[in-house]
Amino acid sequence: MNAITPSDNSNLGPFALSGPVAKPDPRKVPLRGDIAHIALAGRYFVPHYVVPMPLMVCDMGANMRAEASDESEIVYDLFPGQRFDVLDSNATWAWGCLGPDGPVGYVKTSELLDPFA
């Protein structure tokens, strides 16, 4: 049996501990330290992968913000009826994305509707 040398990472799989990796842009990749979009499984290692819950932006539209705060920077304007994939939420804010390639941010839960309800 051959030993794997530090320079040979070909047999270590996708999550080899081979050194630091670049942190992706949090506004473009639906990834946090605790969860990630299910489409990112195999690319990033987190404790939980989430199948998004598709919701719809209400008739007034909505602002996607960088943080869960009304004072936070608006990163994207959502139009009425647009799909927003929720990955995590509480009573006031939903964290999610427009797809696995972003953009990513927070939207007020009161500005989202269940299209199947």
Reading the chain (117 residues) residue by residue, the pLDDT tens digits are 444 445 555 555 666 667 777 788 888 999 998 999 999 998 888 999 999 999 999 999 999 999 999 999 999 999 999 999 999 999 999 999 999 999 999 999 999 999 887
Residues 6 or more apart in contact with residue 94 via CB below 8 angstroms = 55, 84, 86, 88, 106, 107, 108, 109, 112
**Do residues 105 and 64 touch, judged by C-beta distance below 8 A?**
yes
Looking at residue 4, its pLDDT comes to 47
Tell me the C-alpha to C-alpha distance, in Å, between residue 114 and each of 34, 76, 80: 25, 20, 13
* CATH 3.20.10.10 for the 35-113 domain, yes or no: no
Which two three-digit tokens encode residue 35? Answer: 């969860």
Query: 86, 81, 102, 100: which is closest to 53 by C-alpha?
Result: 86
Looking at residue 1, its pLDDT comes to 46
pTM of the full structure: 0.82
Quote the CA–CA distance of 70 and 85 in Å, as a whole number: 20
Looking at residue 45, its pLDDT comes to 86
Residue 82 DSSP label:
-
Quote the CA–CA distance of 108 and 6 in Å, as a whole number: 47
